Each structure stands twice: as C-alpha cells, then as structure tokens.
Structure 1
C-alpha cells in the first residue's frame, strides 16, 4: 500500500455557522474559527475541513452557492479567509474546502442567465430545463428534501431539475463548457492554498439521458425515489478521470467524495489509485442501518450485526487498494452518542467507545465539531426552533399532506433531524455556551453548562482527553493506519471486535455496544498483549476471558517475538 500524508491525517470538520461567532451577530464566522485554531492544534488534528463559506442565500446554509469566488457576508471577507488559511498552515495543519459541484443556488448568475430561452444562450444548457409533459412535470421524481424534483419557472416557461431544495438547481455535467468553469473554480481555490477538497454529493453528477418515471425505492435503498436512477450513472468515472487530469493531479492535494447509494465494490472503483479518479470516499451504508422501509425518517432499532457486516465488507473490499473516511458524526447526521449510545448515564463511556471503534479501522478518521466533548442531540418542542430546510419540509409534508400529528412527526425529527448536529459549539458555561454574545441563529443545547470545552479540558478523564490520546496512538503506531483488517467475534450481537496487523505488530480492538456487561473470549496470543487504552480503569484480563462493562472499549497491542510494551492507559 502506498503511504501518503493524507492517509495518516486526522480531519476535524468545522460547521462554520455554529463554531464560534467573533463579531456578535449570532452567526459563526471565519475569525471565530481562527480564534480557536490553538484548541484544534492541541487536540492533535492535522486537517481542518471547512464547511461551505461561499456567497449563498442560505436556503441550505451554504450548500446553495450563488458565487463560488466570494465569501458569504455573514462569515467575513476573502481577506478573513486568507488569514485563516495562513494561520492554519503556520500551525502545521492543512485546510480542506467543501466543494459543491452537483448544483448551484437559483440566485447564481448562471441560473439567472439560463432562464432566457434560445439556441444562442449558452447558460440554458448549464442546467436541466424541460417543458414537461401534457402540461405537467417531466416525470414523477421526488427530491431528497421532499416534494417534486421539478419546479416550474414562469420566466423560463419550463421546469428545472432540483434533486435537493427548489433553490438548488442541478448542473448539467454533460456540458463541457460547464465542466471547464468548475475546473477553473477548483484551481482558483487550490492556488489560494487549499490542501484538500471534500466533494459534495458527486456521484449524482451524471443524469439519465431520458426522463423516465421512477419506481418506488426498495427498502435497502437510502436514496430518494429518483436517486437509484441517478447515483453512479454511466459516464461518472469518465468525469472523475477528467477532473483528476484537469485539477487533482496538478497539485499536492487529496480528495474525499461524499457518495450516497454506493456499494463497497463501486467505492473501490472510485478510489483505486490505479484508476486516477478520487483518493477516498465518504459512504453512507453504515449510517443507514437504523433506517426503516420508509427511508431515513423512519427509525428502526440499531443492529450491531448489520453494522459490523457493512464495516467489514468495506474494510475488506478496499483493503490495500482504496481508501475511506471513517465517521459516525457530521453535519448531516444526528449525534451518535444519542442515536446509538446512551447520552445520560453512559454518555462519556459510549462517546469514547464509538470513537475507539471507528478510529482504529483502516481509513481517515473524521471528527465533527463537538463530538470530541460528547455533545448530544437537541430536543426542541417547537418546529419554529428548527432551521434545516430538509427538516422543515418533512414536517410540512407529514402534517399538512399526510395528516400526521405534530407529536408523532416531532418524534421522527428528534431522532433524525440534521439540526441535532448544528446547534452551537459548547465552549463554556457562560451565556450561549460561549459561542456568541448575541442570540445564536439556532438555540444552544441546554446541557451546555455541563457539556462544554472548558469542563472537558479541566477533566483528565473527559471525552476530549480520550480523543487526544486516540490521535496520539495513531501517530505512534503505523499498524493503526496501514495494518490489515480482520473481523473477530463476527456473530456476537453486542460486541464489535477486530484486529489490525502490520509486520510483527497486531492491534486488537474490543468494543461493547450495549449498556449490559458482556463476557467474550478471544484467541490467546503467544506474547502477552499490552493494553494501550481503555475507557474504563485498566483491567488486567487475558484475551481469552474478557469481562466488558457497559460501553467498554479496549485496545491491545501485541508484538510477536518482541518485548512487552508498557501500558499507556488513561
């Protein structure tokens, strides 16, 4: 396996709107991020993933770009961005930018120009315009955010396609002029000092040649009713090979592509270095194990056996050839400590356990802001307190069209709303959690007086200090980065265990996903293992008789033919 800096890096995701407000308007900004760079450096992260900061009307909070070359007014100026980039680099860290390629805002100059009909309007073909059928929409496609994927525009006298919000018209990547515009934009940011791109929803770039109706999505499909017709379409690999040739290969950078509805086998095609497409992929399959037949808003009980099968399939399929992003939290997912863990009695233990399980796998670990202090989901009683366009659309459709009650719909929202992850970062126990001196754009979680950075830094046994130790272990032991993966205890319903092997080193990870005590037996090695880290006080137990406490996690290191390592438990 080729060794590179980005495989060894730990990435920290900043959602700029909710990270830190420096100017007192209730909205996070670039200067606020710069204020906290020393905090991120102390944690030990290598790359800062900056959510979209381009000019935007904020229908989807930055993922609807109206100008790729300007900074959103609420976040600051291009001078502020340049200063932030410089300060990140001065501290020996790197910057990753979110790049939105599938769609723009409907307020983008291209879209406004595209409304004018006529063969001489080059921008008309930058988007998907269609006159419809029999006076109605071109087909029955639904958007990911609910409702039709088509909207009629009076000025254009036609419908346009939007797989997400109606204010996010899809771009036509079959148009070569559009492609060159996007390549130029990416080169602009790389020339300004960007080290990496996170590519948003990019396996949707190729659309079918015909606008056929979609059959209902099956229970194993996480996409909207039209998504399975679009994801990973014919010609998508040609686009990424061209993109690599035009942009990526010309800079010392790395790429991670967000892709819903992609299998492990498809993930290998995208990330196999020999194919010269993408460096790594963020997939969704493991995050969909609690989705019911009705999709992500329908929650079913978490199944660890199903979760393990998915993780193992991806680890083994890409092993030695491809690369993935490792995550359980981000701006689109509810917080895992509330979702699959225990955010009350065992909040600290379960937060540490999830981090152990995911970060010791092969791939690049991603830490989402607040994850490192064990932030939890939010429970707003009023729908008016939510801000996410997907959540608000879901509430409107379910209550107004499908006739469900407020209380019933709110239960779904409590479990799955993206706003669970978007409440302000909890810095201390002062007003508004130290995020802002003004009323925040979205309410702070009331538990900020207990769960905050100041408390975590002061407590050596906190989630934060545990995360820092996980990062330190990754930098000390190459087996965590490059070791081969092998599943253990595959049939156990509550324990996820696996080993990583590199040369004469074997790393064994044992995690209890339940609030019940578990006893498991692993094969005893010829050399006594060293307990590197545990989220409980160290317990000297042989591998063939492991007594695990609720949400316990243990990491062992075995060096064959070598002396025993000293324990590094905290």
Structure 2
C-alpha cells in the first residue's frame, strides 16, 4: 500500500503525557487525561498527536527504556485506555503517533532477562555481547550518560554494550529473529489503529562497537528499508526518525519520496546555534541569527522535491522557544506569534509541543524543584568544578529540560487545572496569566494565532509544495522569504528582534496584496517593522 502523503498538509502536536493532564489525582498526567482534552486539540486543528513513550518501563530514562513493547505503563493507564484514546482521537480525525525505541530495550525486558541466563539461550543474541576480562572492557567507548559503554556480566564472562544508561542494553539488529520480533510488534500496534511512529535515535541501530561506530553504521539504510517494507508500507502512516547525525544528504535517504524509509527525519542543526563552539549546551552564547537563516534555507532548498522536512522549535528535551529566542516578558505574545509565523510558513510538517500554542515560558526554579536527572547532575558536577552557583542556575534556567516538562497550564485554578493532587513537578508560577481557558476566550491570543496558522496550511497548497527563496540574507534583524508554486506566491516577513527596524517590501510586492496573517492588528504603511512584527502576504 503506497502512502497518501496526508502528512504533507498535517500539523502534529507533541504530548509529554506525564505533564499534560492528570485524571486520577495522583499528580501524574495519564491517557484518560489526554482523552478529556481531545476536544481542545480538535479546536486547535491538529491532525496527529505524537505521544512521548507510554509503553511499560521502569522509567530509568523517562520511558525510553521499554520493558514491554505491547503494554502500557501503569503510570499512564492500561492497554484498554490506549485503545480508547486511539478510537476517540480517530473520531475527531486525529491520529496517534507512538514513540518507539528500537535501538535498545530495558534490562528488565523479558528478552534481556533471558539473554543473560546463558550464552546458549535463544535470546542471548538479541543483544550485543563481547567476551572479555573483568575490568578490561573490549574498548574505551563511553556511554552517552557517562561511564563505559560496556557492562560486565560475571556469570557469562561477557560484556554487553549500552550506548545510554547501563539499564538500556543495545539491541543486536544483525539478528534476523530480533528484527522479526520488532516487525511483528509494530504490525500489532498498526492493527490497533496507530497512525504513525516516531523512531528514537534510529540512526544508531546499525552500530559496530568493534569499530567504534555508533551512528550511521554501514547497514543502517538496509535495516530501515527492510523495516519500512515489512511494516510501515503496509499502512498509511506518518513516520519520523530521530537522527542527530543527519545532514541533508542523509535526510534525502531517510525521507526519500518513494516511501522506502520514513516520511521525514528530525534533525537538530538549528537547535545548537546558541552554545559556545565545541562546548556543552550549558555554555551559553548569543544566537547566531545569520547562521540560523542559512541553516533553515539550506534544509528548505536541498530537500525540495527530494525529501521532506520536519519543522520544530520545541520538544520534551528543549527549553521553551519564546524564552529562548523570543522575549517572554513585555513582548511574549508578539514574539511567540512571530516565531510561529517563521516556522509554519516553511515547507515541511510542523510539530507543536504542548503549551507552545499558549506561549508557555521557561520556569526559573531553585535547584530543589527540578526533577530532570541531566539537570541535577550538571548542577553538582559544575559546583565541584568551581563554577558559581548563580552561573549554573542561569544555564539551567536557559537550557534545562524541565522547562518543557512543567505541567500544562489549563486554567487559573490551583495547579493550573493539571491535577487535583500534588503535581510530580512544580507548576510554572505564571499560570494565572498564561493558560488555555483564558486564551481560548481571547480571539487575539497566541492560541487563536496558532489555530489560524494551522487553518492556512490546510487552505493553501503553496505551504506544502511552494519553492523556498531566502531574502535579505545579510540582514541582522529580518528573516524574510518567499514560497512560490504554480499560480500563487507567499511573502513571509519576520522582525526577529525587539526593536523597530527599517524595511522595504521586495520588488514585485506593493503591500496591497492579501495579508493572510499578521501579529499586529493594524499594518503600518510606514517603511519599518515594529518589534517582533510578522506578516504573511499572498498573491495569486
């Protein structure tokens, strides 16, 4: 069955279930909570929901350590709740995208429990093992979460390989039986009506640890094409691979229009532009705005008709974009709308992270209120290295993952309407001013602006198929570009900063064209753009 490519006109909404809506008062968001808010998402106009992991897991790494791919973690509900969510979403023309972790499992998965019983066990070869001597691992490879990537199992006199936590042993994709188990599981979820999959760190499945290769291994695309043929191509799905190591050439393979691999990939080139070169993300630097324009333009140009982009500012691992590159104080609404305009005018499938459509901001907590293991580790490590406490907290306030994980702000009641119990993490203190109830009632809100942008993408084909051209490449304040298809043309103009800047419309544009959307009520006829001003012009 060939894909219909419905996802080219779609907008996806990412939910971090733990923080979205709690239905039973235990302080943790759950599937029934999501079901209760489906009408809100229908009102917004999204086509699909990407759920961060909900499969059964010991939660060593926020659910990215799966112990049963065919069950739901009791924290979120039951398999029955998941089936109800799929059905209720479908009734509102919303598809459910599951987060699948196929590079590794939990060490509490039945496969691994069996695998470590003996070398002869049929499941042993589902994982990556090497002979060795205790204290002398096969090589000096390091795990992403620190320490050696090799863990000694004395009863087998072998090491197993783990790229992440010691509780996340890597799966051995060279084993055809393992691959078949994975395909059977995916087909089982497809039978249940799942509308797509997001594939976690998928570029690492073809690792070759003896050669110290972790991502983009030699058999990677062979594996992905087989995976797609045996599963995804048997349905009408949206599939997105997370590939930190992707460049535009690799992305053309991943998102080949023939459907042989995925619909699209997540790449992160634009996300690393505000840190010091060759340093950690905590080593803050001002955003290189000209580089941001170049990066977006490169991906827009090079994937045009040869692949497909995913468009995003936020996710569960990233700080809130309005705090990061906008202005979350006096220009919060204007800058949130500008950033949305800039992104949604491009070619690709936009992803909205929960609360982004409200202009939710970073939370500036004291260290005892954070829950993220990465945040707590860096705080203590940097204190030991002699960094000033204030500087460490500044970095955490800017880049910490918990910025994205504070509870969704539904209304101005206690706990922002997220839970009747004590939330697992503190609510951002500004929920009385920023919440869904208030914004839905205000036609000029960030929520209604996102709703209008989503509507435009469904109305005008030029958003999906128009050719991209960057304008004013060297301008240090304005991000402007056109999208052109047969019969229509868009001009997208965004003042990226909080100052007034001079501006002349490009040749061929008079200002009398239809304005599809703008974040100021009155369009000034003067030759300037106001702080964070954004407009989309259209001419037939």
Q: Which of residues 217, 222, 243 is equivalent to 1:259?
A: 243
Q: Secondary structure at the match of 1:444?
A: coil
1:40-189 → structure 2 map (5 Å cutoff): 40-118=41-119, 120-132=120-132, 135-189=135-189
Asked if structure 2 preserves the Cα contact closer than 8 Å seen for 1:146 and 1:397, the reply is no
Q: Secondary structure at the match of 1:323?
A: coil
Asked if structure 1 preserves the Cα contact closer than 8 Å seen for 2:263 and 2:308, the reply is yes
Asked if structure 2 preserves the Cα contact closer than 8 Å seen for 1:64 and 1:168, the reply is yes
- For 1:219-249, what per-residue CA distance to the aligned partner results, in whole angstroms no more than 9, with x for missing partners? xxxxxxxxxx422221111011101111111
Mean Cα deviation higher: 308-317 or 160-169 = 160-169
1:202-351 → structure 2 map (5 Å cutoff): 202-208=202-208, 210-212=210-212, 229-274=213-258, 276-292=260-276, 293-351=278-336
Asked if structure 1 preserves the Cα contact closer than 8 Å seen for 2:319 and 2:400, the reply is yes
Q: Secondary structure at the match of 2:464?
A: helix
Q: Which residue of 1 aligns with 2:530?
A: 549
Q: CA deviation at 1:156?
A: 4.5
Structure 2 unaligned regions, length at least 5 = none
**Is 1:504 equivalent to 2:484 in the alignment?**
no
1:426-465 → structure 2 map (5 Å cutoff): 426-465=409-448
**Is 1:37 equivalent to 2:38 in the alignment?**
yes
Asked if structure 2 preserves the Cα contact closer than 8 Å seen for 1:341 and 1:347, the reply is yes
Residues in 2 aligned to 1:153 and 1:554: alpha-carbon distance in whole angstroms: 60
Residues in 2 aligned to 1:281 and 1:242: alpha-carbon distance in whole angstroms: 17
Asked if structure 1 preserves the Cα contact closer than 8 Å seen for 2:133 and 2:157, the reply is no
Q: Which of residues 324, 341, 349 is equivalent to 1:356?
A: 341
Q: CA deviation at 1:90?
A: 0.8
Asked if structure 1 preserves the Cα contact closer than 8 Å seen for 2:468 and 2:484, the reply is yes
Q: CA deviation at 1:158?
A: 3.6
Q: CA deviation at 1:50?
A: 1.5
Mean Cα deviation higher: 31-40 or 61-70 = 61-70
Residues in 1 aligned to 2:237 and 2:101: alpha-carbon distance in whole angstroms: 17
**Is 1:424 equivalent to 2:407 in the alignment?**
yes
Residues in 1 aligned to 2:331 and 2:149: alpha-carbon distance in whole angstroms: 42
Q: Which residue of 2 aligns with 1:378?
A: 363
Q: Secondary structure at the match of 2:440?
A: helix
Q: Secondary structure at the match of 1:122?
A: coil
Residues in 2 aligned to 1:133 and 1:497: alpha-carbon distance in whole angstroms: 60
- For 1:42-73, what per-residue CA distance to the aligned partner results, in whole angstroms no more than 9, with x for missing partners? 01111111111101111122111111111100
Structure 1 unaligned regions, length at least 5 = 213-228, 560-570
Asked if structure 2 preserves the Cα contact closer than 8 Å seen for 1:271 and 1:281, the reply is yes
Mean Cα deviation higher: 390-399 or 355-364 = 390-399
